[in-house]
Structure 1
Amino acid sequence: MRLKSAFAVLSVAALVAATGTAAQEDKRPTGETYEQILARLGDGMRENLIIRGEHDSRTEARKHKRFYTDLQPLADLPPYRPAKQLEGRIRVSGLYLHDGLIKDQWIEAFQRFHPQVKVEIVPKGTIASGAVDIETGPRISDRLRAASQYELATGERLFEIDWATGSYNVPGWSPGFVIFVHEDNPIAHLSLDQLDGIFGGSRTGGWKGTTWDPGVARGSDRNIRTWGQLGLKGEWADKPIAIYGRPLKYNIQLGFERKVFKGGDVWSETTREYSHEANADGSRYSSSVEMVRDLSGDRYGISFSDMGSNRPGVRAVPIGWTAKGPFVPISMQSLRDRSYPLFIEQWAQVRLAPGKTLDPLVKEFLTFMLSRDGQDAVQRDGKWITLPARRAAEMRTKLEAAGERVDPHALGLHLKQIAPAKWDGESPDEAKRTDPAKAYYRSQFDLSGLPAYQPGQAFAGTIRMPASGQLMEGTAGQALMAAFRRIHPAARFELKDGDLINHKVDLSIGRKWSTYFAGEFYDFQLKHDRSPREFQVATGSLDVTGWSPALAVYVGSNNPLKGLTIRQLDGIFGGPRRGGWVSTTWRRQAGRTAAENIRFWRELGVKGSCANQPISVIVPPLKYHIMSVFERKALVGGNIWNDSAHEMPLVLNRDGSRRSPESDRVSAVARRRCAITFADSGVAVPGTRMVPIARDGTGPFVLPTLTSVQDRTYPLHLEAYAYADAEPGRQIEPGVREFLRFVLSREGQAIIAGDGKWLPLTAAVATAERAKLDIVVPQVTAK
């Protein structure tokens, strides 16, 4: 189900309060925390209804329109000739494939050759779930979390081909990237390496699929930050390049990273992000249109967008694959022959078991897609562009390949570090140091202030929950269920891994659902037109790896730094930003300016040998899940990082055993006396120390201890969450609600404490979370 395009009218005053409005550019930064913005402006459900509703309306208006009517000769493509008649059923997914004109043409043409085959083209469905045989749409390998989860579940590499080129200027149909500059800018052309230098930052490697490739590293010496570095003279020579872009977690950014950064994910911290937003009048603020409009008023700006956003005052720059050229302007022809480097492909992904060849029917349909018959339907649809003959031949050859097995020793492909399951903790136990059955903490916490459990109506029925994850690996899960059954003897629990989004379970307990890039929270909203119900059920551990240990900040032991505030952490690790992701919505209230950057130790009052040295920032690769956690905790949901940050991926020992990535980063700090990193609070490396952290400038500075993490005076604690569903206007299902009341009671939190890994909630947090159980959320509506 899509978010609807027509909704009940919402008053303008209410909408302004709900959205913060896109027009409030000058009100940032507010200095609010992530939690304060979330509490004031909400989780983004209403904004997403507006944005997605208008998107769907525009797509609806385009889907049956032929934008390009000049039919090209396709004689260099082979006609489709089946080797033999097949029978069966094949299911293909793809929203734009389903909504366009191509769907009926493909079905009719293929079934003419294979009358015993039923072809179904559906708007949604993944190969990972087994719902479809061929999945089309955004390239899965660009979306590292989705690719990692797929490979973790199957043990096989993704098999993918591209079968068309995106459009020239049709929004939604993958228009090619265009590099725009102001019309007065004298730059003649740019190469891909120059684009890398302009838009990217230094990097220690990049992603080749789900594998970290250190071979694409580059240093800051290749950064291009002024127009003079590109050879411009006179007034242009010393002018900084102002970058106009989009939030770095949009799919479009990921494609740009692959094409221009060779899979790197560090962007110039001067990138000015433009997001789709909700205006006060209920209309959508379109990122690409507004971005190029603003660029037209900035002589020293540059952006990548698409020809559909072209306007007076800007011009498109010809691009070359190399510095030697040729430098090619974007056009229908340069996209057809792919001489223009920044085309966008249309991808098809299928399951292919290691050592096996493609299923005959799947192979036959892919062959048809790559044939003259299949491509003729592409051009008659009038939006996408046909595949060049040479590329089609390469893809047909690829169809003969056997499936590849995931290499567990591939550098960087350690999947839970990138994409932990929803019912796991925020930071996985990569080095396998934790015994799930062991109670690491035996402290007696004072739980007398927590509400005692008073049973409501007796519950008889079944509650479905995931069978794996930290709750079930330790002792807490079984103990909570057993205690609940003693009070409600007719209650039953069914344990089987599944997804709340698809209603395979009733309750999911584990890490916080990532709210935009990972997509769990947003996907739920997209599917159900409502938000999932979220509850904190425990505090993360102090230092038990895998059980959401508190984040700690490490410097060299000789560094005299007395402490850091959260905003100072933002200034060190983050970059200036136009906004950030607070839940599923881009909020400009999360923005900040370059004035808050902290790049030298002297800016923190540090004296001595490091005072005038740059702060050497060491972090995990930016695509690792833990980075989205740090973004929420310290960067107010922003995803612009210090563009000189040094990424250190998880690596293996020589014997193939796993190293501790946290220890590796802290050890690097010990070697570099003016460095800083964050890691689990349980890391102990000689020559380093943890830095006390304060919520704000009023203090106090606090070190992570069992007490300060449990009572949450230490700001970088983590949490464990429960997710449930409820229809608008209705409470959560009685059994789930009653079980969560027990978990959030004094008795339930005593069981959490007795497990000895996660820590019990404070009385204030438990009371607030229990109160949320009684809230009935109305239907969210928008104009």
Structure 2
Amino acid sequence: MTPRAFRPLYCGIAFALSLAAAAEAVCSDVDPALPRYAPAKVEIARTEPWLTNDGAIRIVGYNDMRDMFDAFVARYVAAHPGSTFRLELTGTRAAPPALAANTSALAPMGAEFTPDQLAEYRQASQATDPVEFRVAHASLDPRALSGPLAVFVHADNPLRSLTLAQLAQVFSGKATHWRDLGVQGDWANRPIHLYTMEPDTPLALSFYGRVLGTTSPAKPFAQFHQSRDTIDRIGTDPLGIGFAAAMRVTDKVRLLALAAKPGATPVLPTEADIRAGRYPLDRWLLIYARLPLSAFAREFLILVLSREGQQAIADTPQHYLPLSAEEAAHERAKLR
């Protein structure tokens, strides 16, 4: 399968500096080492709770996965004639309760189950915790709803990079002045102003879990529900620092390059570094499934994790990023 000649991509350093500098470019679509989809016969009992009255396979979940699911379904139906689907992709929040009630065959989501969602799932389903499959990397395209996490400072701030350990110092309140992060000169003694997402948002849960672990976050100057609002506020405060979705960057702020550990090379959230696994605050699109896996869930996920499935992801107008062959193999191993 040959890649399209042009597509809206945000590749390389230009994106990290400013969306205005991003240009259309040619980038590879999918890893050629991904396996081709080899359909297998699937028997679905008519008593499955996730079948509708007319026998359609019901899937409830994330609205920004609509385009890829339309493509998955078309490929699945071509391989399994007579299959029909009812896609109710209204949002991530709808997926966990539908999966818990077993009224959705799968749960497509733009973020991990929150602790509250998992507790509610356990109570409602009385079943083993669902299995999580990463099916795509988050997007750098402003049209997407799910992007990788990024850390922002004001455009005038001289800071260029941080380690995750330094981030933990900042967001736990242990680093209070820019000198604590190695900044020298006039900025050294200036205070750090923290701006964050609201603590129950998927971005905040992901950021705090990966950066702070069990350490309590410091009280911020302000917190916001949307990435755009967080970034707009940092853009008005030269002393501000905060986290939000990478693709919401503006010319008023700067993305910081991040290093997973001291001594590692700091990297920006570029397509190349995300797909190579070098960027430490990547996020993923997910599909959750009940255990034990149904024959349908297994077959559908084999398709999603195949070359054809990952090509469908690469072709989305939101430009979600496909998995590598190694990443897809790791997820397929969960199907055994």
TM-score (norm 2): 0.80
Q: Which residue of 2 aligns with 1:554?
A: 152
TM-superposed CA distance for 1:670, in Å, is 3.2
Q: Percent identity?
A: 30
Tell me if the contact between 1:508 and 1:724 (Cα under 8 Å) persists in the aligned partners.
yes
Q: Which residue of 1 aligns with 2:21?
A: none
Q: Find 1:682's aligned residue among 247, 251, 263.
A: 247
Q: Name the CA distance, whole Å, in 2 between partners of 1:745 and 1:486.
A: 15
What is the CA deviation profile of residues 638-659 of structure 1, one whole-angstrom value per residue up to 9, with x for unaligned ones?
A: 362112x112435xxxxxxxxx
Q: Name the CA distance, whole Å, in 2 between partners of 1:545 and 1:680.
A: 12
Q: Find 2:71's aligned residue among 479, 489, 492.
A: 479
Q: Which residue of 1 aligns with 2:3?
A: none
Q: Find 2:109's aligned residue among 476, 495, 510.
A: 510
Distance 1:441 1:494, change over 3 A: farther
Q: Name the CA distance, whole Å, in 1 between partners of 2:298 and 2:25.
A: 29
Q: Mapping of 1:176-575 within 5 angstroms?
A: 443-459=27-43, 462-466=56-60, 469-472=63-66, 475-496=67-88, 499-516=98-115, 519-526=116-123, 527-544=125-142, 546-574=144-172
Q: Name the CA distance, whole Å, in 2 between partners of 1:647 and 1:601.
A: 19
Does residue 748 in structure 1 map to residue 323 in structure 2?
Answer: no
Which secondary structure does the structure 2 equivalent of 1:494 belong to?
strand
Q: Find 1:705's aligned residue among 263, 270, 288.
A: 270
Does residue 668 in structure 1 map to residue 233 in structure 2?
Answer: yes
Which secondary structure does the structure 1 equivalent of 2:77 belong to?
helix
What is the CA deviation profile of residues 475-512 of structure 1, one whole-angstrom value per residue up to 9, with x for unaligned ones?
A: 21111100111112133323346610111111011123
Q: Find 1:646's aligned residue among 189, 202, 221.
A: 221
Q: Name the CA distance, whole Å, in 2 between partners of 1:602 and 1:501.
A: 49
Q: Mapping of 1:691-702 within 5 angstroms?
A: 691-702=256-267
TM-superposed CA distance for 1:725, in Å, is 0.8
Q: Name the CA distance, whole Å, in 2 between partners of 1:467 and 1:550.
A: 20
**Which amino acid in the other structure matches residue 703 of structure 1?**
L
Q: Name the CA distance, whole Å, in 2 between partners of 1:495 and 1:748.
A: 17
Gapped regions of structure 1 (runs ≥ 5):
1-439, 576-596, 651-660, 775-783
**Which amino acid in the other structure matches residue 768 of structure 1?**
H
Gapped regions of structure 2 (runs ≥ 5):
1-23, 46-55
Distance 1:623 1:534, change over 3 A: closer
Q: Name the CA distance, whole Å, in 1 between partners of 2:127 and 2:252.
A: 52
TM-superposed CA distance for 1:629, in Å, is 2.0
Q: Name the CA distance, whole Å, in 1 between partners of 2:249 and 2:64.
A: 24
**Which amino acid in the other structure matches residue 234 of structure 2?**
V
Which secondary structure does the structure 2 equivalent of 1:682 belong to?
helix
TM-superposed CA distance for 1:459, in Å, is 5.0
Q: Find 2:191's aligned residue among 614, 631, 641.
A: 614
Q: Name the CA distance, whole Å, in 2 between partners of 1:670 and 1:467.
A: 34
TM-superposed CA distance for 1:715, in Å, is 1.3
What is the CA deviation profile of residues 543-594 of structure 1, one whole-angstrom value per residue up to 9, with x for unaligned ones?
A: 435531112211123323231111211111125xxxxxxxxxxxxxxxxxxx
Distance 1:639 1:603, change over 3 A: closer
**Which amino acid in the other structure matches residue 558 of structure 1?**
D
**Which amino acid in the other structure matches residue 707 of structure 1?**
A
Distance 1:488 1:529, change over 3 A: closer
Q: Name the CA distance, whole Å, in 1 between partners of 2:194 and 2:132.
A: 33
Tell me if the contact between 1:459 and 1:490 (Cα under 8 Å) persists in the aligned partners.
no
Tell me if the contact between 2:197 and 2:243 (Cα under 8 Å) persists in the aligned partners.
no
What is the CA deviation profile of residues 132-186 of structure 1, one whole-angstrom value per residue up to 9, with x for unaligned ones?
A: xxxxxxxxxxxxxxxxxxxxxxxxxxxxxxxxxxxxxxxxxxxxxxxxxxxxxxx
Distance 1:611 1:449, change over 3 A: same
**Which amino acid in the other structure matches residue 451 of structure 1?**
P
Tell me if the contact between 1:464 and 1:506 (Cα under 8 Å) persists in the aligned partners.
yes
What is the CA deviation profile of residues 401-435 of structure 1, one whole-angstrom value per residue up to 9, with x for unaligned ones?
A: xxxxxxxxxxxxxxxxxxxxxxxxxxxxxxxxxxx
TM-superposed CA distance for 1:630, in Å, is 1.4
Number of matched pairs: 294
Q: Name the CA distance, whole Å, in 1 between partners of 2:250 and 2:119.
A: 39
Q: Which residue of 1 aligns with 2:205?
A: 628
Does residue 733 in structure 1 map to residue 332 in structure 2?
Answer: no
TM-score (norm 1): 0.36
Q: Name the CA distance, whole Å, in 1 between partners of 2:277 and 2:317.
A: 17
TM-superposed CA distance for 1:443, in Å, is 3.5
Q: Which residue of 2 aligns with 1:771?
A: 333
Distance 1:627 1:467, change over 3 A: closer
Q: Which residue of 1 aligns with 2:7?
A: none
Q: Which residue of 2 aligns with 1:281?
A: none
Larger RCO, structures 1/2 (Cα 8 Å, 6+ apart): 2
Distance 1:602 1:620, change over 3 A: same
- Between 1:456-465 and 1:550-559, the stretch displaced more is 456-465
Distance 1:626 1:639, change over 3 A: farther
Q: Name the CA distance, whole Å, in 1 between partners of 2:252 and 2:186.
A: 16
Tell me if the contact between 1:542 and 1:709 (Cα under 8 Å) persists in the aligned partners.
no
Q: Name the CA distance, whole Å, in 1 between partners of 2:69 and 2:158.
A: 44
Does residue 719 in structure 1 map to residue 284 in structure 2?
Answer: yes
**Which amino acid in the other structure matches residue 635 of structure 1?**
L
What is the CA deviation profile of residues 710-767 of structure 1, one whole-angstrom value per residue up to 9, with x for unaligned ones?
A: 333111111011111124xxxx111111000000111100000011422101211100
Distance 1:537 1:573, change over 3 A: same
Q: Name the CA distance, whole Å, in 2 between partners of 1:553 and 1:522.
A: 30
Q: Name the CA distance, whole Å, in 1 between partners of 2:122 and 2:322.
A: 30
Tell me if the contact between 1:617 and 1:646 (Cα under 8 Å) persists in the aligned partners.
yes
**Which amino acid in the other structure matches residue 682 of structure 1?**
M
Q: Name the CA distance, whole Å, in 1 between partners of 2:163 and 2:70.
A: 39
TM-superposed CA distance for 1:622, in Å, is 2.7
Find the structure with the greater CA-based Rg: 1
What is the CA deviation profile of residues 583-636 of structure 1, one whole-angstrom value per residue up to 9, with x for unaligned ones?
A: xxxxxxxxxxxxxx2222112111022211221111133343431121223222
Tell me if the contact between 1:543 and 1:550 (Cα under 8 Å) persists in the aligned partners.
no
Distance 1:467 1:522, change over 3 A: closer
Tell me if the contact between 1:451 and 1:767 (Cα under 8 Å) persists in the aligned partners.
no
